[in-house]
């Protein structure tokens, strides 16, 4: 895979959502010099934001949205990049949008990877027989049909790998047993492990699943082969089996396993879906709310990113019902093919590069739709001051963080100087379920999703409607 995706991944998907620095609104406001007229203007939105929140939370509209969400998730389940099921789910959302009276719905075609896992198995044969759960990582090459039987060497970190003699790695299966610190710090063993191990002569690589918690769960995800390095099969195993093999190695026991993996890989067509409420004064200026519609091929993609997708879809649907037209266009984007490496968002950026100056603000929800907390904001000081002022309308949902890289799909747009934000929420358990069979509706809480939708709709409306453009970095 191209190094550009690796770059994007390291700086975006790997963004550490849990360690973002919280800056209270109060502190930001202390150093802000916003015009009094603007402060008064923002405060004047209190009625409309209360109206929006109330209609969604108390008057049943949020319940209706949640029903649409559960219908969608149950109907389609996992929606993997390049699959017919993903395309059908996109058609479904387009029809649903139109059935709610929106007419400004368009799609943009994107070439996307289509990785289909086949049979996968891992059997330990020494020091004792044990079948182990595993899940192939995105776009892993297959093993020969008879599998790869080799000894395992447990490696703690890339530093450990660098310090281990090549002779000890050659011909072995490397198990990266890096314990979860943060997603950003740990995911590199999943994304780069195979090529790092192959460079030292490994025949396959395994990675401890990137999660702080496990009930014998395996967690897949994207991985990227370096050019000019042998592509070796690569898969994730459970925390339990990684710990088991580490203990065996510490006892001096020889660990031998047979790894079998098959898969196919080709390219398909998919689509980004764009839903607009055209601005009443500046239709060319756009505020984007977004989430991705694709998921991994395990679980239901309910949390990642069904929740973020549905609350972003709901913003224009709600505004249309109440004929609330903001000054600027409010655009919901349902990104395709986020999981294999931000493919849909990269295509959108390429296609709209000449219109970037028209994007006033870009928002994304792809880190959970648990209890909402506020926004993680990237932008100039003035932009952050304005957003902090807007967040005062939503107390206690008024936290503002500055992680330096909010979101995943939107990061490429933000890196071009467009201010943006991702949804902050109480997502401490997000990586328990992430990219696993556990990502189902059972981890979602109806009221929390509805509260996220209410906040997301109201805050995006205010940003799209205030008289002042958000200044660029
Ligand atoms: Zn996601």
Whether residue 371 is contained in a domain is answered as: yes
- Strand, coil or helix: 130: strand
C-alpha neighbours within 13 Å on the C-beta side of residue 1: 25
Q: Are residues 78 and 166 in the same domain?
A: no
Whether residue 419 is contained in a domain is answered as: yes
CA 295 – ligand 1 centroid, Å:
7
Q: Are residues 247 and 292 in the same domain?
A: no
CATH number assigned to the domain comprising residue 255: 3.50.30.30
Beta carbons of 288 and 302 less than 8 angstroms apart: no
Torsion of CA 9, 10, 16, 21, to 10 degrees: -120
Structural domain boundaries, residue 328: 3-104+278-465
Q: Are residues 254 and 197 in the same domain?
A: yes
Q: Are residues 313 and 417 in the same domain?
A: yes
Rounded-to-integer distance, Cα 212 and Cα 374, Å: 24
**pLDDT recorded at residue 3:** 37
Q: Are residues 239 and 363 in the same domain?
A: no
In the structure, what pLDDT confidence band is assigned to residue 22 with cuts at 50, 70 and 90? very low
Question: Does residue 7 register a pLDDT over 60?
Answer: no
Whether residue 470 is contained in a domain is answered as: no
CATH number assigned to the domain comprising residue 457: 3.40.630.10
Rounded mean pLDDT, 201-205? 98
Q: Are residues 299 and 396 in the same domain?
A: yes
Q: Give the rounded distance of the alpha carbon of 312 from its chain centre.
A: 14
Q: Are residues 440 and 345 in the same domain?
A: yes
CA 347 – ligand 1 centroid, Å:
17
pTM: 0.94
- Strand, coil or helix: 11: helix
Q: Which of 442, 6, 9, 431 is nearest to 220 (CA)?
A: 431
Torsion of CA 303, 305, 307, 308, to 10 degrees: 140
Whether residue 439 is contained in a domain is answered as: yes
**pLDDT recorded at residue 314:** 98
Whether residue 353 is contained in a domain is answered as: yes
What residues are labeled active site? Answer: 338
Whether residue 350 is contained in a domain is answered as: yes
Whether residue 273 is contained in a domain is answered as: no
Question: Does residue 452 register a pLDDT over 70?
Answer: yes
Q: Are residues 346 and 211 in the same domain?
A: no
Question: Does residue 334 register a pLDDT over 50?
Answer: yes
Q: Are residues 61 and 188 in the same domain?
A: no
Last residue in a domain, options 216, 232, 263: 263
Q: Are residues 286 and 434 in the same domain?
A: yes
Number of independent structural domains in the chain: 2
Beta bridge partners of 260: 121
- Over the stretch 222-263, which tens digit does the pLDDT of each residue have? 999 999 999 999 999 999 999 999 999 999 999 999 999 999
Last residue in a domain, options 211, 240, 263: 263
> In angstroms, what CA-CA distances link 464 with 87, 281, 286, 354, 362?
30, 11, 7, 21, 10
Distance between the two ends of the chain, CA-based, in angstroms?
31
Give the residue carrying structure tokens 């037209």: 325
**pLDDT recorded at residue 405:** 83
Rounded mean pLDDT, 296-320? 98
Question: Does residue 363 register a pLDDT over 90?
Answer: yes
Question: Does residue 433 register a pLDDT over 80?
Answer: yes
Whether residue 112 is contained in a domain is answered as: no
Q: Are residues 308 and 413 in the same domain?
A: yes
Last residue in a domain, options 263, 296, 319: 263
Beta carbons of 303 and 444 less than 8 angstroms apart: yes
CA 9 – ligand 1 centroid, Å:
12
* Surrounding residues of ion ligand 1, Cβ less than 5 A: 304-305, 366
CA 427 – ligand 1 centroid, Å:
13
Q: Are residues 140 and 284 in the same domain?
A: no
Q: Strands 234-237, 204-208: parallel, antiparallel or unpaired by DSSP?
A: parallel
């Amino acid at each position: 895979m191209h190094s550009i995706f690796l770059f994007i991944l390291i700086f975006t998907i790997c963004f550490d959502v849990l360690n973002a620095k919280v800056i209270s609104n109060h502190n930001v406001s202390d150093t802000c010099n916003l015009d009094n007229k603007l402060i008064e203007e923002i405060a004047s939105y209190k009625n409309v934001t209360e109206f929006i929140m109330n209609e969604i939370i108390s008057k049943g509209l949020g319940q209706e949205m949640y029903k649409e969400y559960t219908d969608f998730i149950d109907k389609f389940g996992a929606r993997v990049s390049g699959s017919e099921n993903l395309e059908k789910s996109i058609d479904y959302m387009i029809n649903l949008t139109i059935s709610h009276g929106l007419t400004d719905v368009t799609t943009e075609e994107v070439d996307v990877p289509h990785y289909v896992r086949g049979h996968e198995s891992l059997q330990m044969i020494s020091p004792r027989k044990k079948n182990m759960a595993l899940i192939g990582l995105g776009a892993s090459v297959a093993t020969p049909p008879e599998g790869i039987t080799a000894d395992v060497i447990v490696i703690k970190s890339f530093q450990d790998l660098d310090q281990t003699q090549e002779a000890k790695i050659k011909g072995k299966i490397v198990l990266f047993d890096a314990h979860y610190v943060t997603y950003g710090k740990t995911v590199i063993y999943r994304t780069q492990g195979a090529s790092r191990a192959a460079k030292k002569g490994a025949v396959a690589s395994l990675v401890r699943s990137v999660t702080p918690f496990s009930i014998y769960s395996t967690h897949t995800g994207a991985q990227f082969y370096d050019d000019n390095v042998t592509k070796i099969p690569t898969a994730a195993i459970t925390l339990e089996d990684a710990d088991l093999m580490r203990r065996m190695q510490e006892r001096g026991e020889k660990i031998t396993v047979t790894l079998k993996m098959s898969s196919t890989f080709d390219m398909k067509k998919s689509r980004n879906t764009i839903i607009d409420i055209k601005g009443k004064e500046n239709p060319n200026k756009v505020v984007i709310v977004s989430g991705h519609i694709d998921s991994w091929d395990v679980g239901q993609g309910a949390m990642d990113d069904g929740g973020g997708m549905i609350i972003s879809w709901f913003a224009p649907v709600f505004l249309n019902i109440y004929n609330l037209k903001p000054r600027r266009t409010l655009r919901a984007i349902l990104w395709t093919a986020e999981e294999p490496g931000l493919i849909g968002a990269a295509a959108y950026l390429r296609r709209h590069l000449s219109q970037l100056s028209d994007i006033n603000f870009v928002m994304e929800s792809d880190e959970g739709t648990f209890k909402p907390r506020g926004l993680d904001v990237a932008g100039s000081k003035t932009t952050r001051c304005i957003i902090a002022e807007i967040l005062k309308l939503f107390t206690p949902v008024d936290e503002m963080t500055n992680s330096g890289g909010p979101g995943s799909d939107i990061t490429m747009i933000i890196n071009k100087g467009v201010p943006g934000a991702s949804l902050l929420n109480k997502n401490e358990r997000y990586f328990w379920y992430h990219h696993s069979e556990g990502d189902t509706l059972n981890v979602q809480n109806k009221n929390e999703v509805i509260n996220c939708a209410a906040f997301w709709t109201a805050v995006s409306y205010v940003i799209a409607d205030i008289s002042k453009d958000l200044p660029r970095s």
